[in-house]
Amino acid sequence: MSLLLNVTDNRIEEMAERIFKLQFAREDKLEDEYNDYRKSMMFRDIKYNLKILEVAVRYDAEDIFQDYALWLLKLLTSRMEDLSSGRVREQMISHYQIMAEVLREEFDWDYQEKVQVYLENAIRVTKKAELKEERKEELEGELKEELESERKVELEEDVEEEPGEEVAGEVSRMESSAFADSEESELKRLQFRYLNSLLRADKYKARQVIEEALNQDISLEKIYLKVFQQSLIRAGELWHSGEITVDEEHYVTGMIQNNMMQLWPRIFAGEKTGQKLLACTIGNELHEMGVRILCDLMELRGWNSIYLGAAVPVDSILSALAKHKPDLVALSVTMPFYLEQCEEAVRRIKARSEFEDISIAVGGRAFSLAPDLPDKWGVDVMAANAGELAEWAEENI
């Protein structure tokens, strides 16, 4: 835990307990609404909420907390189906108010102001989210009708081909109809068919979809970004809204890893530039598909990638750098909790003169919520994907 705000894990535990007890003392309804399992989840979430607020304040990145507040509201609404979304919102608003009250007594004045502003804004976005969601539902209803009538024939074909359509199938038929006869449209269609196959645990069909894409001369980069990456993102959304389960998401991710590896002979076939990239995720960051995709796409551009996988300790990154002497090190962070370890890694790499020729790149979802950080840390480049990174490297390495 950070020293900046003097918050230790013990302190977080104590604060969480106070917040938890206060919320139950203030809201009689909670005892009826929460069984023991829900109570334990709520206590765990309060600790997460405190930690994420702490990270946002430390890095002066309010988006981190707002994004989290919106994400949590949607998650809880989908997980507590016996409660109305209005009631879940009410609980969250009351929760942030109690957090503000408890934290008022905890932090030094310097941080106090920021903590209070972030919590007020979390309340504001939580209130607003209701309106936004309702409008979206209406819009989706209209859009769905319009699109479904437009391409009825195609929809029927899909149904025939893949009986027992599931959630993602619904979306597939709706969205695929919106993009007629272009490569973009074909990629969308392939992506939805691919994900639908995986959601039915049909790995053979999924593999066949990739074969089809290859037979149509769709580039490997597009297969990676538009089929694999989009399927991962969509699987995340479906999990978030409670439409698929953890095991289904795990299966999708595992099979995408397999399908990527099946493409390796093509990915590694090109000429090599002699440039070397070392890449991994940091802290306890388990989201490693992004950096895996990054490595494969850099290989495709002729780089030799040394992919270390997920959650690599900073000491191990340093020893790997000494061993492999790459031109570029790529550090990936998805969950903002692990920004601190990334900062430490950057600081320690920059402190060693033997690494002065190694450029440092960072990326991943956490940085999109805190885009100023890489500059503040003196990182050489932050990029959204392999294309951007390769372009930067062409000019700078």
Nearer to ligand B12, 106 or 133 (CB): 133
- Of the two residues 285 and 340, which places its CB atom closer to ligand B12 in the complex? 285
Measured from the CB atom, is 255 or 293 closer to ligand B12? 293
Q: How far is the CB of 293 from ligand B12 (least distance, A)?
A: 4
Alpha-carbon distance of 331 to 374, in angstroms, equals 11
Q: Shortest Cβ distance from residue 139 to ligand B12 (Å)?
A: 20
Residue ranges that bind ligand B12, judged by CB under 6 A:
67-68, 71, 229, 232-233, 235-237, 240, 249-250, 253, 284-291, 293-294, 330-332, 334-335, 361-365, 383, 385, 389
CB of 19 to ligand B12, least distance (A): 20
Closest to ligand B12 by CB, 83 vs 310, is 310
Shortest distance, position 37 Cβ to ligand B12, whole Å: 14
To the nearest whole angstrom, how small is the minimum distance from the Cβ of residue 227 to ligand B12? 11
Closer of 218 and 235 to ligand B12 (Cβ): 235
Q: How far is the CB of 151 from ligand B12 (least distance, A)?
A: 27
User: Nearer Cβ to ligand B12, position 174 or 330?
Assistant: 330
State which residue, 119 or 260, has the beta carbon closest to ligand B12: 260
CA distance 53 to 99: 10
Provide the minimum distance between the beta carbon of 3 and ligand B12 in the complex, in angstroms, as a whole number.
22
